[in-house]
């Protein structure tokens, strides 16, 4: 299979939920990978975002990407997108499709609409609600308001990039999304031989994740209150180094030198600190999509201990690069064993390399995704004709979002 390249210059407009911060979150890193994927396929890129500029955002101009600041609920976007007249528009998460999708359809009806889901937000939200209610995540609701909104956005778009094969199956079975509207697009990792710091040259445990992401904060609390005391009891000299962007005061207050529980905050090079740690800990109780911290640990040759949620969509049928445990006691025991047993540690490291090669090969994934994009783009009218639900939503249900946005804009002009 050959990767399609643009025969003529094409313009892709990306409407970002936030300005990309690849050193702060997996979502930021994945977005940058997607931008490079389209750029390398010959597309001209414009990135527009209504959010406040981020503290750790990357300089997109270095990637040959033109940036634009846009406003929510404002017809100025209509003028902007009409003048740009993109061949395709990529929405960063369903929230951006809700806000700007109808405007794109009105101003540029022939533009292909692509939804980058990042993860199934409604799944993550429902699982969080289940945990707070003391229920297992298997009992999480699937027909919430957010689920209906997210599924509607998928049907309104011509193609959705779904980060996890587990989520592809979930969307097919739960919301009856046809395969023609989706393409599996996981993390894009360049596969090559790496020289790892050996077992003897590493020390301590690591946990990493953006503190603004609820599953990460919950995991830090699980470590602090339940898991780390058990590990520390068996390994009194070991430390747990916790990294992540935007730590709030409540997180900083957990820092305790005596307990070896060290809240480090943001780090410019996550791979550097991950490569020096002996074991990565990720006791995630809820979430969705793929967990960048765990693929990053495999890139760095660092075995990990996580949960079923953490491993979801990453390992496939392959053995995990460490251990997957739900019970706090078993989680702690697995972490202690990995930290102390060089032979088991090396086996786990090699398993991580196998997972990356089999499931996250950048070249193979890019080829499949871009060929799918090209196929839909070249036959867009026929593709849309087969998506009856999408046509129905464009015709009627989506109007509520449009009219609410126009009402907000009109109200803002009345002083």
The DSSP letter of residue 323 is E
Q: Which segments of the chain belong to CATH 3.40.50.2000? A: 10-190+362-413, 199-359
- Average pLDDT estimate for 247-260: 95
pTM of model > 0.95: no
Q: Which is nearest to 90 in space by CA: 145, 149, 20, 148? A: 20
Query: 98-125: b or e for each residue (b if 16 or more CB lie within 10 Å)?
Result: bbbbbbbbebbeebbbbbbbbbbbbbbb
- Average pLDDT estimate for 28-52: 96
Evaluate if residue 171 carries a pLDDT over 60. Answer: yes
Q: What is the C-alpha separation between 45 and 66, in angstroms, rounded?
A: 6
Q: What is the C-alpha separation between 387 and 344, in angstroms, rounded?
A: 50
**What pLDDT score was predicted for residue 24?**
80
Using one digit for the tens of pLDDT, what is the confidence trace for 119-134? 999 999 999 999 999 9
**What pLDDT score was predicted for residue 399?**
59
**What pLDDT score was predicted for residue 414?**
56
Which residue is it, tokens 């298997």? 138
Using one digit for the tens of pLDDT, what is the confidence trace for 49-78? 999 997 889 999 999 999 999 999 999 999
Identify the CATH number of the domain defined by range 10-190+362-413.
3.40.50.2000
Q: What is the C-alpha separation between 14 and 35, in angstroms, rounded?
A: 9
Q: What is the C-alpha separation between 413 and 405, in angstroms, rounded?
A: 13
Specify burial of residue 81 (Cβ count, 10 A radius: 0-12, 13-18, 19+): buried
Evaluate if residue 3 carries a pLDDT over 60. Answer: no
Q: Report the Cα 353 to chain-centroid distance in Å.
A: 21
- Average pLDDT estimate for 102-129: 96
**What pLDDT score was predicted for residue 398?**
53
- Do 12 and 44 meet the contact criterion of CB atoms below 8 Å apart? yes
**Helices 292-299 and 26-40 sit at what angle, rounded to 10 degrees?**
70
Under DSSP, is residue 2 helix (H, G, I), strand (E, B) or coil?
coil
Using one digit for the tens of pLDDT, what is the confidence trace for 325-358? 999 999 999 999 999 999 999 999 999 999 999 9
Q: What is the C-alpha separation between 77 and 81, in angstroms, rounded?
A: 6
Q: What is the C-alpha separation between 78 and 15, in angstroms, rounded?
A: 13
Evaluate if residue 412 carries a pLDDT over 70. Answer: no
Using one digit for the tens of pLDDT, what is the confidence trace for 283-296? 999 999 999 999 99
Q: What are phi and psi of 42, to 5 degrees?
A: 105, 5
DSSP labels, 60-87: GGGGT-EEEE--TT-THHHHHHHHH--S
**What pLDDT score was predicted for residue 404?**
61
Provide the pLDDT confidence category of residue 400 given band limits of 50, 70 and 90: low
Evaluate if residue 80 carries a pLDDT over 90. Answer: yes
Q: What is the C-alpha separation between 227 and 332, in angstroms, rounded?
A: 6
Identify the CATH number of the domain defined by range 199-359.
3.40.50.2000
Question: Helices H, strands E: what count in the chain?
Answer: 18, 13
Q: Which is nearest to 26 in space by CA: 223, 274, 228? A: 274
**What pLDDT score was predicted for residue 174?**
95
Say how many C-beta atoms besides its own lie within 10 A of residue 132's C-beta: 10
- Average pLDDT estimate for 300-305: 98
**What pLDDT score was predicted for residue 1?**
45
Which residue is it, tokens 């023609």? 180
Evaluate if residue 191 carries a pLDDT over 60. Answer: yes
Under DSSP, is residue 57 helix (H, G, I), strand (E, B) or coil?
coil
- Do 31 and 19 meet the contact criterion of CB atoms below 8 Å apart? no
Q: How close are the terminal C-alpha atoms of the chain, in Å?
A: 59
Q: What are phi and psi of 302, to 5 degrees?
A: -110, 110
Q: What are phi and psi of 90, to 5 degrees?
A: -110, 125
- Average pLDDT estimate for 22-35: 91
Q: What are phi and psi of 143, to 5 degrees?
A: -120, 40
- Average pLDDT estimate for 214-242: 97
**What pLDDT score was predicted for residue 55?**
81
- Do 61 and 35 meet the contact criterion of CB atoms below 8 Å apart? no
Specify burial of residue 83 (Cβ count, 10 A radius: 0-12, 13-18, 19+): exposed
Of 147-161, 241-255, 358-372, 384-398, give the lowest mean pLDDT range.
Answer: 384-398
């Amino acid at each position: 299979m050959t990767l399609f390249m643009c025969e003529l210059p094409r313009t892709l407009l990306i409407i970002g939920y936030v300005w990309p911060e690849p050193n702060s979150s997996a979502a930021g890193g994945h977005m940058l990978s997607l931008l490079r994927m389209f750029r390398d396929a010959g597309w001209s890129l414009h990135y527009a975002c209504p959010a406040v500029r981020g503290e750790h955002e990357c300089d997109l101009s270095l990637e040959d990407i033109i940036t634009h600041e846009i406003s929510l609920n404002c017809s100025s976007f209509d003028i902007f997108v009409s003048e740009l007249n993109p061949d395709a528009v990529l929405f960063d998460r369903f929230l951006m499709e809700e806000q700007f999708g109808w405007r794109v359809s009105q101003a540029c009806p022939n533009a292909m609409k692509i939804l980058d889901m990042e993860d199934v937000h409604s799944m993550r939200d429902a699982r969080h609600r289940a945990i707070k209610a003391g229920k297992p995540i298997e009992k999480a609701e699937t027909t919430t308001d957010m689920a209906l909104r997210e599924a509607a956005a998928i049907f309104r778009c011509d193609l959705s990039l779904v980060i996890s094969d587990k989520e592809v199956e979930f969307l097919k079975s739960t919301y009856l999304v046809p395969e023609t509207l989706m393409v599996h697009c996981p993390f894009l990792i360049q596969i090559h031989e790496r020289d790892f710091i050996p077992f003897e040259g590493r020390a301590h445990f690591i946990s990493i994740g953006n503190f603004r992401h609820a599953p990460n904060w919950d995991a830090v609390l699980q470590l602090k209150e339940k898991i780390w005391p058990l590990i520390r009891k068996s390994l009194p000299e070991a430390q747990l180094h916790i990294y992540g962007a935007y730590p709030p005061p409540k997180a900083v207050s957990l820092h305790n030198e005596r307990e070896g529980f060290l809240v480090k905050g943001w780090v410019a090079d996550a791979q550097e600190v991950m490569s020096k740690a002996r074991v990565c800990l990720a006791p995630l109780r809820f979430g969705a999509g793929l967990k960048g911290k765990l693929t990053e640990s495999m890139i760095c040759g660092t075995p990990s201990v996580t949960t079923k949620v953490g491993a979801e969509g990453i390992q496939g049928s392959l053995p995990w690069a460490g251990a997957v445990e739900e019970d706090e006691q078993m989680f702690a025991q697995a972490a202690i064993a990995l930290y102390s047993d060089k032979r088991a540690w090396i086996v786990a490291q090699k398993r991580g390399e196998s997972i990356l090669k089999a499931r996250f090969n950048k070249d193979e994934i890019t080829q499949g995704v871009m060929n799918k994009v090209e196929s839909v783009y070249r036959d867009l009218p026929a593709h849309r004709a087969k998506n009856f639900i999408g046509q129905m939503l464009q015709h009627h249900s989506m109007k509520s979002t449009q009219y609410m946005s126009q009402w907000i804009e009109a109200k803002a002009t009345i002083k």
